[in-house]
Structures are given as C-alpha cells and as structure tokens.
Structure 1
Amino acid sequence: MKLAFDLRDFKIPVDRLAPQEVFRTRQKDLLSYRFYAARSENLVILCHGIGGDSRYLCSLASAIALAGFAQVVTPDFRCHGASLSASDNIASNQLEVDLEELIIHMKMKMPVKKMTLAGHSLGGGFTLRIAVSDVGQQFTNFVAIAPYLPESFHALTADLGGWISFNSQDEGIKVNYPEAFKTGEEKLSYSADFIRAAVVPEDLLIRLREGNASLSLITGDRDEVVLGARHLEVFEGLAHPLVLAAGLNHLTIVSKPTTARSLFES
C-alpha cells in the first residue's frame, strides 16, 4: 500500500534531539525518555504515536522548551525506545501505571509547579484517555494533537493514509513502514492489548462533559490519517482552543511546530 505522504519530507533535526535517558520503575521495568530543559518549573509530558518513538517529536519539544513555556519530557511508550523488544501484551492500565512512574521519576529530579500532558496521534488519544482518568487529576492542562480515536467516532480517513492497517483476526494494528526508511528501531505491529491500553474509552465525550479538564486540540486540515473537520464536530464545546491548522498534515503538525507550540504558551 502506498503512503499518502512522503517520509522524505520529514526530517528529525538531530542538533536539537535530546539524548535518550532511562529509568527503572518500581515494577523493575526499564523505560526511556528524552528531556528538553527550560527555565521554567512547568513540565510538559509529550507522548508519541504509532510506529516511531520520542525522537520524531524533537522539533515540537525543543520549540516549547526554547520558548521558555515549559520543560519537556518525551517518553517512549513501553515496547518502544529502550524497551522496543518487550512484549506488548499488557494489562489495560499498564500505560497509565508507566505514566505515573515517569511523573514520580521526573519530580525526584526537578521542581515541578504544574504539568501538561500532550500527545500526537495515538499519543493524542492516550492524552484524552488520561484526561478523564484518575491519573489526569495530576495535570493542569491537556493538549491533543491529531488524536487517534476508535472507529466508532468516525474520525479516521478511509485508508488511514496507507500508514496503518487493522488485523481483523485479533484487532491488532500493523504499521506499513516503507522499507527504504526502516532502521530496525521501528515498532511495526501492535497487539490488541496495547491498543486497548492506549485508546480512549467509548464514553469519552460524556466524561469530558461531566468533568472539568482543560483541553486544547489541534489537527491539520491536510491530515491523511484522522479527519480534522470531524474533530471540530466531536470536540465542539469540549476543547478550547479547537484548531484546524491550515496546510499541515499528520506529521508536519509536529515537525513544523509554530502553530502547535502556541497551545503550550502559559
């Protein structure tokens, strides 16, 4: 299947890429992240999407930090980064547990005044999941960037940009990464267990209406994977601001960070 977007146009600015760091959770698991320092006691935790890891978020993460909005940590989800080879057959609350472990680790390293949880694609969906969870009470703000939502929300393009495909037998996901761009550090398949641990609950909108989460959402109007216009309908009255960014697609929304960065301004 041909991708609707060309990865040759997507570059990771290695001069701004923070080094990978690791920490061990209280459950003895080794997880990794990247940290972008700033003169701020605010902390943004910025989560990546399917296929890649925290590296591809470096343009946005460094832009937020350099602007002085907040310190930024970009975690690698379990089974990505340093734990790429680990099994992704995980409990439904495992990613939430991992997030709490990361928060503990970061607070032991630095003073934190307030926290924002943000994410792109599957990470954006995970951000929405946390916004209506008990863990979400630790965050002041939430920023969802081109968030992935389950099919029942009718917010996915017909072919998902050729980027991912569903396994009808076990409800897992396959990533259609072009051979020419593979480095051996991509995650090319996801179990149904992992996807269930990351995606939003079906009653997300009801819980957002009943709660008081401070939510911002942005999607590019040229996104090949998710439907930005549908996001405007779904999250009307629930996200402020709710932005359909002109001229940006699923990857340039984070690789050309000027518009998305503004959502993090204090």
Structure 2
Amino acid sequence: MKKPLLATLAVVVVSFVGALVLSVVFGGPSAPSVMASANNPFDSVDYSGLPELSNYAARDGQNLGFRRYDVANPQGSAVLLHGSSADSRSMHLMAQALVDAGFAVHALDVRGHGASGAKGHVAYVGQLEDDLQDFMEQVQPAAPVTLVGFSSGGGFALRVAGGEHAAIFDHYLLLAPFVSHEAPTYRSGSGGWVNVGLPRYVALAILNQMGIKQFNHLPVVSYALSEQARQSLTPEYSFNLAENYRPQADYVEVIKGIQQPTQVLVGAQDEMFYPAEFVDVFGAAERRVPVTLVEGANHVGLTLMQPALNALIAAMSELRDLDNLRSKR
C-alpha cells in the first residue's frame, strides 16, 4: 500500500512544481491596449518652471531623485508620490498649486521610476519604506509635513499611514488611492489601465511563502501606456515593486491602523475605481477619515483639473489647521 501512495504523492509534487515553473516562465503580463484617459491629458501640461532633479542617497548607496519646489516662509510641506508607471513630472501642476498656496513641495521619483534606480524594480519588499525614511532624515522638509499620494502612490501612502513608520509624517492625503484588488473600490483591471500576469503573480507569491525570492525581479504587471510614454515612463513592475507600491494585503487592518490625520479625495467620475465605495471602505478606520468626491474629475484629472486642485488645497489647509489647534492646547 505504501508504494502506490508514495507514487501518487510524487506525481502530485511533480505536477505542482511543474505548474509553478510554467507559471513563472510563461505566466507574465501582456501589455494592455492604450488607455487614452491616462495618457492624453499630460500632452497639454505646461512643464515650464519644472525644477531640475535633486538627489538624496538611500542606505544602499543608490542616488534617488526628487524635485524641490521652494517657497519663502512655508506654512508646511507636501511630499508627493506619483501614480503607477509615472514619475515626479506628473505632479508638476499639483506642486505649483501647493506652492501658490504657501506650501513647500518635494515631488519624488519613487525608486523604480524616473531617475531613481532601474525602472520597474526594487531589491526587496520594504525598500520603498526605507527610502522614504532616508529622504525624510536627509532633506528634512519644513513641518508640518503631509505625505500626498496619488493612485498607486496613494496606496503606498496608505501603507505607510497604517504601518510602523506612520509617525514620520504629520498627516496623510490620499488621492484616488489604490486600496486592493479585493476592495469594493476596485474596477476590474483598473478600468483597462492594468494587465496582471496572474499565473506568475500567484506562483511567485507561493514561492515567497516558501522563502524563495530569486524570481521576484520578473514583471507581473503591465500598464496601458502609449508607445511614446513607454519610452520615458515605467511600463512594467516586478513582483517586488508591485507588492511594495501598494497597501499591505489586509487592507482593512491597514485602514484601521491609521493614527495620523488623514483625508481622501476621489474624482466623482473616476474610471479606474468606484468613487462612491471609498466612503464605506475608509469608514473602517478607527479615527475619522473624511472622503471628498470631486465633481467633474476623472482619475488623472484629480491631479490636473482646477476643481480638483482647489479641493487639494482645501484639504491641505484643513490638515494644517488641525496642527494649529493642537499647538494651542
């Protein structure tokens, strides 16, 4: 009886390993069709006044890029995190609006994007948190400091806000944040923006649970960029970057863990997420997280359109005023 049982077990193990190997090798993402609403709006952006890149040194010795927007006697600072595939240039109009309102701004090229390391890659999950700590220690933006993240950058800001490093920022402002593919806010494929190589993603997740991380450099996500944008932006994410530039898997616990003052802005016409669902999702937070739907703004429009920029400044001012109230007590 033992020999047939062992033979069956061997077949199961070999089949499982074979399926993992095939998924890792052939289960990667294909490029989705170009998404006009994510590409075209940036064609009309005036980039005059875009600051040159500055750099700071991460703990691994890599120089990482950011753009500094200075203002005399700032009433606080914003650290900006761009969306998936993008870089600091995409935050230029937002940065200018914040400067006009009296806030100093630092727009990051998050590692794996723009001028910060190899595009689409980080060395390990958690490296982006280490980079953010290194940035804050070296650059020391004027207080109070708000971490402002858009889309995937908003998801990463949520990761920080609900995690062990939350106190390095005074507040958080999440702009149409990616919460989870399992959250009710999520449209399938982010409305056409994302193709996930699900077989490879699942296989790598299983291997990581087994302590095998040698294949985490492989791409698992592809974005709906135009051919021109693919040349300058980041068309694909490795497993490590895709896992790091988002909240932790248990997004409900992450939201419950928010302790610093936090607000959420979402375009009422967002085509990548379901805007109305954000209210209930962030209702899980133990401290109140206001959610504002900006009429007339779609996903990318949340960073470019004047009504959205007005809502951004209003939210930043409310967060600043909270600090003023606390300092008077």
**1:173 corresponding residue in structure 2:** 221
Aligned to 1:44: 78
Change in Cα spacing, 1:235 to 1:87, as seen in structure 2 (3 Å) is closer
Give how far 1:161 is off: 2.9
2:9 equivalent in structure 1: none
Q: Distance in 2 between matches of 1:127 and 1:187?
A: 19
- Structure 1 residue identity aligned to 2:39: L
Deviation at 1:6, TM superposition (A): 6.3
Rounded Cα–Cα distance in structure 2 between residues aligned with 1:66 and 1:231: 29
After the TM superposition, which residues 96-111 of structure 1 pair with which residues of structure 2 at under 5 Å, given as runs? 96-107=129-140
Alignment partner of 1:82 is 2:115: yes
- Report which of the two has the higher share of helix: 2
Residue 84 (structure 1) shift: 5.0
Deviates more, 1:87-96 or 1:127-136: 87-96
Go from structure 1 to structure 2 and tell me whether the alpha carbon gap of 1:8 and 1:208 turns closer, same or farther (over 3 Å shift). Answer: closer
Identify unmatched segments of 5+ residues in structure 2: 1-32, 202-219, 321-329
Larger radius of gyration: 2
Q: What TM-score do you get using the length of structure 2 for normalisation?
A: 0.74
Partners of 1:166 and 1:55 in 2: CA distance: 25
2:59 corresponds to:
26
Confirm or deny: 8 A CA contact 1:16 1:59 kept in the other structure. Answer: no
Count of aligned pairs: 261
Contact in 2 for aligned 1:219/1:244 (Cα 8 Å): yes
RMSD: 2.0
Residues 133-148 of structure 1 mapped to structure 2, 5 A cutoff: 133-148=163-178
Q: Give the letter for the 1:169 counterpart.
A: P
Shift of 1:123: 0.3
Q: Is the 8 A contact 2:57 2:63 kept in 1?
A: yes
**Alignment map for 1:122-161 (pairs within 5 Å):** 122-161=152-191
Pick aligned residue for 2:289 from 206, 218, 240: 240
Once the two structures are TM-superposed, the CA of residue 87 in structure 1 deviates from its matched residue by 6.2
CA deviation string 1:44-75 (max 9, x = no partner): 1110111110101111111111110x211011
TM-score normalised by length of structure 1: 0.90
Question: How far, CA to CA, are the matches of 1:201 and 1:7 in structure 2?
Answer: 28
Match of 1:93 among 110, 113, 126: 126
The answer to whether 1:260 aligns with 2:293 is no
Segments of structure 1 that go 5 or more residues without pairing to the other structure are none
Letter in 1 for 2:98: I
8 Å Cα contact 1:54-1:74 kept in structure 2:
yes
Cα-to-partner distance string for 1:89-140 (whole Å, 9 max, x where unaligned): 4211100000011111212xx6x32211110000000010000122111211
Change (3 A) 1:158 1:86: closer
- Cα gap change, 1:87/1:247 in structure 2, threshold over 3 Å: closer, same or farther? closer
Q: Are the aligned partners of 1:232 and 1:244 in contact in 2 as well (CA < 8 Å)? A: no
Indicate conservation of the 8 Å contact 1:5/1:161, yes or no.
Answer: no
